[in-house]
Structure 1
């Protein structure tokens, strides 16, 4: 089986081939399926990363959460401790480029939220199996966070991110639900 590094490279190349309109339409369909789900409807606080192409567009998800009266929590990486701190985002102007050139909340303008305050965590990833295995971006931040998190979580992915098999390690946390533009896959 290929290494995680090789899988990451191949998936990034595959995603980069998506044209703008395919990306927009697929992201819209994924969001529509997410909004129809129980987890979204029941969530008071949604934790989500601010996407960078070619990840599924999360800006529309953040906007919808605000329109639905939900709180939005965005992670800030703490590289020295290799952990995530989630902070309450009330405006896109509270974002800045941070760790790994990701969009992260400005700590001086946002309030911290504890894991217990998060109703739904949307977990990012590069590749997934229908059985819930996930290949992240390589930092292990989400696996460490999810190991102690007791709330609802799921992932959003394009169908092209689904693969038959991934290299799995003992610390990898499976995703119970993956929402794509065509289907909702449940592993638990």
Structure 2
């Protein structure tokens, strides 16, 4: 079984070198599936991650005016909250991720969980900070991830604190 650090390195490279037309095609297909899904239709407040350039393009959801869109904000001790998304009130963190200037927490009913690799049963390799697993430990809403075809792997080493996502949208 490959170590998470090895998987992270391999997947970051694969994402950074992913053919742009294939990426656009898969992004559109995955987003269409998600927008047609019951979990999207029923959600009122959706937590969306702010992608780095090589990650899944969240533009369609960030501009969705039919839902309340919230984004993660990191706090000390590797904690995280979600705050309202306002494109005019963002700053760049030392990690290179855009976050809200607001400190007002909002509870989503659906979280789009980022990552680098997933198993079919929803376990994932994230970026190693544990922010999402800590948040999801007490979260009772729905979770989903958007996954490109090469990001599904057969097994992942699991820790007791790893929380699987409930829905995987993929091509």
TM-score of the pair, normalised by structure 2: 0.94
* Whole-Å separation in 2 of the counterparts to 1:4 and 1:26: 25
Give the Cα separation in 1 of the matches to 2:161 and 2:104: 30
The runs of 4+ residues in structure 1 deviating greater than 3 Å are: none
For residues 133 and 120 of structure 1, what CA distance do their matches in structure 2 show?
17
Could you say which residue in structure 2 is the equivalent of 1:85? Answer: 81
What SS does the corresponding residue of 1:175 show, helix, strand or coil? coil
Task: Count the aligned residue pairs.
Answer: 171
Deviations 1:29-56 (A, max 9, x none): 1111110111100111100111112211
Q: Which runs of 5+ in 1 are unaligned?
A: 183-188
Q: Secondary structure at the match of 2:137?
A: helix
Structure 2 unmatched runs, 5+? none
The answer as to 2:42 corresponding to 1:45 is: no
**TM alignment of 1:57-68, pairs within 5 A:** 57-63=57-63, 65-66=64-65
Map Cα deviations across residues 70-117 of structure 1 (whole Å, 9 max, x no partner): 101101111x2211111011x32222211411011112xx7431x3xx
- Structure with bigger helix share is 1
Secondary structure in 1 matching 2:25:
helix
User: How far, CA to CA, are the matches of 2:150 and 2:144 in structure 1?
Assistant: 17
Instruction: Please give the residue correspondences for 1:1-188 in structure 2 after superposition, counting only pairs within 5 Å.
Output: 1-63=1-63, 65-66=64-65, 69-78=66-75, 80-89=76-85, 91-107=86-102, 111-113=104-106, 115=107, 118-180=108-170, 182=171
RMSD: 1.3
Shift of 1:23: 1.6
CA contact (8 A) 1:153 1:175 kept: yes
Query: Is the 2:52–2:96 contact (alpha carbons within 8 Å) kept by the matching residues of 1?
Result: no
Q: Give distance in 1, aligned partners of 2:60 and 2:50.
A: 10
User: Aligned residue for 1:186?
Assistant: none
2: CA distance between counterparts of 1:127 and 1:99?
Answer: 24
* TM-score, structure 1 normalization: 0.86
